[in-house]
Amino acid sequence: MIYLDHNATTPVDPRVLEAMLPYLKSFYGNASGLYKLGRLSRTAVDTARHQIAELVGVAASQVIFTSGGTEANNLALTSLEPAAGLAVSAIEHPSILEPAERLHRQGHPLSILGVDSDGLIRQDTLDEIIRAEKPALVSLMLANNETGVIQDIARHAEPLRSQNILLHTDAVQAAGKIPVDFKALGVQMLSLSSHKLYGPKGAGALIFEKGARLSPLLLGGGQEQNYRSGTENVAAIVGFGKAAELAKAELAQRSERLAGLKIQLEAGLRSISGLCIFSENAPRLPNTVQFGLPDVDGEMLLMKLDRHGIAVSSGSACASGGKEPSYVLTAMGIDPALARSAIRISLGSSNTPEQITRFIEILKTLVSQEG
């Protein structure tokens, strides 16, 4: 199989699995237990907390473990004071857009920031929303899961900070692929997910600036400084920590490798007549390429590629399955017919130059059959 869908999820790194196994086999203690078995789990969770903190340059006490990126995003939005306004970009992941819509239905003013044809949030659009709507909280993703476009969060943060507007960034797709530094970004909250960086599914974190007023989604035993009750998923947290440690240590070599593969991939794609690479001129993640082919049905192409053992996505994995064109491409003003043809390739550790060559060969054959 040629797996080209690493933005949907990544395989667990064998070193991560190795680190997790003792906590699945022998060290099963509840991290709240005061006896040795419990203390072993507590120490493991604390180590992971430090590893995550190191990845994004914060103190360990600023890390709240969650069940994943979705929960971290939902938790971030609880920082909104009653009736206060919220602004989010049109291309956020559904785990921001859906809770934002619910908050709106509950009476919070909601502004949706458009993007330009490259998928970038424009500073003047943000300035206008700050001036006209005065939101209390803004949520802008660092890197988009479909196009891979990287936003200039540090730049957008400046006017927000000077007006005491909270800024959250969804860094789920960025972490492990580009440097993510909480302070340099100038945000007050940041979401991470383990399974996007070769850790296990079902673990994530919200990083928060001390003093941020979050309202827990889950109430109970008071774990995670009262921000997230529930017995810690120790093995998954240990795996997330190990994955974060490896991502930090290997970031430069990983992104260099991916960038090389991406150059090869894009050169191959450009040799297909009529093919259009979305957001081609915007800063993008080193692993992500989304393209469209006029008169091609993206879902059909995906299925044909699958029959050749190639796994790709026709847009956002979490939102795919419908015939609606991707809302991200729609927000960029891409023609709906072209948007319906979209295929996303997201490269990762297992991919080789030979696989890219093979993928391009098969894609060319399939596209020529369409014509």
Ligand X SMILES: Cc1ncc(COP(=O)(O)O)c(C=O)c1O
What residues are annotated to the active site?
318
- Residue at token pair 């430069």: 252
The residue within the footprint of ligand X, chosen from 79, 173, 341, 351 (CB under 6 A), is: 173
Starting at the earlier edge strand, list the strands of the sheet with 288-292. 276-277, 288-292, 343-346
DSSP 137: E
HSE, side-chain direction, 13 A CA sphere, residue 152: 12
Q: How many residues does the chain have?
A: 371
The residue within the footprint of ligand X, chosen from 29, 68, 200, 325 (CB under 6 A), is: 68
Under the binding rule (CB under 6 A), the answer on residue 241 touching ligand X is no
What residues contact residue 155 under an 8 Å CB cut-off, 6+ apart? 123
Cβ-based nearer residue to ligand X, 27 or 233 = 233
Under the binding rule (CB under 6 A), the answer on residue 85 touching ligand X is no
Structure tokens at 2: 């040629």
Cβ-based nearer residue to ligand X, 111 or 313 = 313
- Give how far Cα 152 sits from Cα of 155, 186, 284, Å: 6, 11, 11
Give residues 189-218 in contact with ligand X (rule: CB under 6 A).
193, 195, 204
The residue within the footprint of ligand X, chosen from 41, 79, 145, 169 (CB under 6 A), is: 145
Cβ-based nearer residue to ligand X, 62 or 173 = 173
- Between CA 337 and CA 335 the distance in angstroms is 6
Under the binding rule (CB under 6 A), the answer on residue 141 touching ligand X is yes
Contact 338, 292 (CB under 8 A): yes
The residue within the footprint of ligand X, chosen from 10, 62, 70, 341 (CB under 6 A), is: 70
Under the binding rule (CB under 6 A), the answer on residue 318 touching ligand X is yes
Which residue is nearest to ligand X, using beta carbons? 69
Q: What are the φ and ψ backbone dihedral angles of 173, each rounded to 5 degrees?
A: -85, -20
Give residues 248-287 in contact with ligand X (rule: CB under 6 A).
none
Cβ-based nearer residue to ligand X, 98 or 133 = 98
Give the count of residues interacting with ligand X (CB under 6 A).
15
The footprint of ligand X (CB under 6 A) covers 68-70, 73, 93, 95, 141, 145, 170, 172-173, 193, 195, 204, 318
